[in-house]
Amino acid sequence: MEEYKVEWHVIEQLKQQNLMEWVRKMNVIENIVDEVIKKELIIQ
């Protein structure tokens, strides 16, 4: 998840300046990570 946060520039400064944008990006990242995990579990 940390890699995606860096890639998407999700930093504490964004959280302080624009909370809704930070939440939106975190939700997208969480969904991506969930999909990756599900695909990995299916492959195994």
Q: What is the mean pLDDT of the chain?
A: 92
Residue of higher predicted confidence among 21 and 2: 21
For residue 35, pLDDT beyond 90: yes
Mean pLDDT of 10-28: 95
Residue of higher predicted confidence among 6 and 32: 32
Q: Model's pTM, two decimal places?
A: 0.79
* DSSP per residue, 1-44: -HHHHHHTT--HHHHHH-HHHHHHHHHHHHHHHHHHHHHHHHH-
The boundaries of the domain holding residue 18 are 2-43
Domain count, the chain: 1
